[in-house]
Amino acid sequence: MATGPHHEIGILVNGVWKQWSTSAGQDYYENLTTRKTQFEIPAGWEDADSETWQVDTSKGWEQWRNVRTGRIRRTNPNPPAPHTYLDRENIQTHLRLVERTPESQEYLYRRVMMAILRYFFKEDEGFDVFQEESRGETSQGESRPDMTVLKITARPGGSTYAYDYCLIESKKAGESWDATQDHLSRHYGGTENPSREVYGIVQIGLCIRFFTARNGVLTAQSGYLHVRDDVNDITAGMENMKRRPPLFQ
């Protein structure tokens, strides 16, 4: 078991298992008869969709107790539907980190953008979101957009295909907008869409800007929008892209 302080969470119903948490927040379970521990939820104590949960503040923080099993969760098992992307806990987690440390490395800022893209471009709507896809480029040997949104389509009576929907260039706070937009424009030379049409987003720190491209020509579709301060405008920009797809062929 991991080193560091461990926290006793409570004993499950029937008194056979005790729930613990590591200092990293990983729950594990101790069999009080054998004293063996495991990370897997004990058989029979797994959560079911129909469970009833009670809010428990006995430890000094809010957590949720399963009435049937006694097992504790520290995240709401029945969260309300999000009103905006800022209501998603994963997005808030990545966002708070870079807000506390603005000099964070680029990959930490990309986590914010990846989480937002996946909020809007869902797999069950026919989208895929990828990071760092290599592809050919007209003026250089290789192009590697930081993120790519693909759209999966099916031709009548034929197979499914993946087309470029949006290419994203992401940089940490303080980088040059002009240089980053120029870099994004070079990626458009590598789009595999026969139409040469695709959407684009430039992200620098916590600000983004929407673009369209046709035949490698980049056209701005918005001003500079802040992830936390301009939620409505960013939401409108994302929904506009989905409502008006680029021509693939």
The domain total for the chain is 2
Q: Give the tokens for residue 148.
A: 């790519």
Per-residue pLDDT of 121-130, as tens digits, reads: 999 999 999 8
Q: Token pair for residue 169?
A: 């260039």
Mean pLDDT, range 173-197, rounded to an integer: 86
Give how far the C-alpha of residue 224 lies from the chain's centroid of Cα atoms, to the nearest Å: 21
| 92 and 15 co-located in one domain | no
Residue 67: which CATH number? 2.20.70
Q: 216: pLDDT confidence band, cut at 50, 70 and 90? A: confident
Say if pTM beats, i.e. exceeds, 0.75: yes
> What are 21-52's pLDDT values in tens digits?
998 889 999 999 999 999 999 999 999 989 99
Alpha-carbon gap, residue 98 to 111, rounded angstroms: 10
Q: Are residues 169 and 234 in the same domain?
A: yes
Residue ranges making up the domain that contains 213: 85-243
2 domain residue, yes or no: no
Q: Which is it for strands 197-204 and 160-171: parallel, antiparallel or unpaired?
A: parallel
Of 73, 106, 124, which marks where a domain is finished?
73
User: How many CB atoms are located within 10 Å of the residue 193 CB?
Assistant: 17
Distance, CA of 105 to CA of 194 (rounded, Å): 35
Write the DSSP symbol of residue 190.
T
Instruction: Read off the tokens for 3.
Output: 């080193």
Domain presence at residue 158: yes
| H-helix or E-strand spanning residue 19 | strand 17-21
Residue-level pLDDT at 143: 57
Of 53, 73, 93, which marks where a domain is finished?
Answer: 73
